[in-house]
Each structure stands twice: as C-alpha cells, then as structure tokens.
Amino acid sequence: MRALAILLAGSLASACTDGGTIHYADYGRYSGSTAYYAARTGYMPLMVYGNPTHASQNAFTGAMARALKGTHLVPGVEFTPADPAVMRGYRTVLAFGSSTEAAICSSAPITAATPKGASGPLNAAFCLDAEPLSFLSGAIPAANGPEDPVLRQQMAAIGHALFPPNNPNRSQDCWPGALKCL
C-alpha cells in the first residue's frame, strides 16, 4: 500500500512543473467519503503558514484560497481563509517553509521562513482536529507574487493531490476488514 502512495506521489511530482514537486504523499486516514462530509457546507477552512512572496500574509492567503478553487472533489467548494487560533474540525493547512506530518495539524505547526521570492519546501494536509487525513510534502518554485501562474499551477496540483476521489492506498476506498471489496 505504501508503494502505491509513493507511486502516486511520483506521478504527481511529474505533473508539477517549473520547479514544483510533490516528494511524498500519505493517505493513511483519508477517504473520499470523509472529504465529501467535510465539505458538506460548501466551505473548507484554509490555514496558511509562511509566505514565499513579497505580498502581505492576508493577500497571500487569499490568493492561495483562490488557487485551490476547483481542486476539492466536491464541485464548488470554497476554500476560505480561517483563523489559525481555531484549530479544530476539518480544514486544509499549507505550511510554506517546513513542518512535519505530526505537527502540521497541531495548534501551532512548526514552520521555517522561506526566503521571499525563492523556491522552498511546502507541506500540505487535509486535517481533522490534530490529525492529518492526507499529507503531502514537496517543494514550490520561486514565485513573482501570490498570483504567479506557476505558483497557482502548483497549488492546483497540491489541491487535487490532497483530495482524490478514493484513498490511493486502498482499492476502491476499501478499508481493512471490509467484507466486500473489488
């Protein structure tokens, strides 16, 4: 199963061009049905830590929410910037700089600053409370600003990778102990 996730990460990495890559993906607790349930209101809270551009943090977070639009498996879901102080429930977290899979969904992800205008690490997660349901680790290309087409393309690849229709580790989103799976 882990091999399938690594294979998926490799294929996603090839989809991210211009310096952006996804090096690692973990879907250990993910299911498409959970992602549907999390988006039942039509909104997905988004927390963004770090900012590799010269824009303000608020402008950058808004641009990342717009860049993720259309990437959730539920059509029409709006990613909405959320207060990092409210770290509970379902949400999407982007950590520009550095974070770990264990820390990214916690109340204060450990992040290191990415130099402005430079390429750097990016970790992303679909979280439920303090647990990542899906997690990606990769790199982003240098960006001229938050609306840079290359950065927007990378965010689209990240969004699609965080919210696949089925868990890539499980055949047809089956789980251990399921009675009937193809």
3-state secondary structure of 36: helix
| Per-residue buried b or exposed e for 51-74, using 16+ beta carbons within 10 Å of the residue's own CB | bbbebeeeebbbbbbebbeebbbe
Render pLDDT for 161-177 as a digit per residue (tens, 0 to 9).
Answer: 999 998 888 765 555 55
Render pLDDT for 80-129 as a digit per residue (tens, 0 to 9).
Answer: 999 776 668 999 999 998 788 989 998 766 666 677 767 889 999 999 99
pTM: 0.82
User: What's the mean pLDDT when you consider all of the chain?
Assistant: 81
Sequential DSSP letters for 98-138: ---TTTTTSSS----PPPTTS-EEEEEEEEETTEEEEEEEE
Flag whether pLDDT at 3 surpasses 90.
no
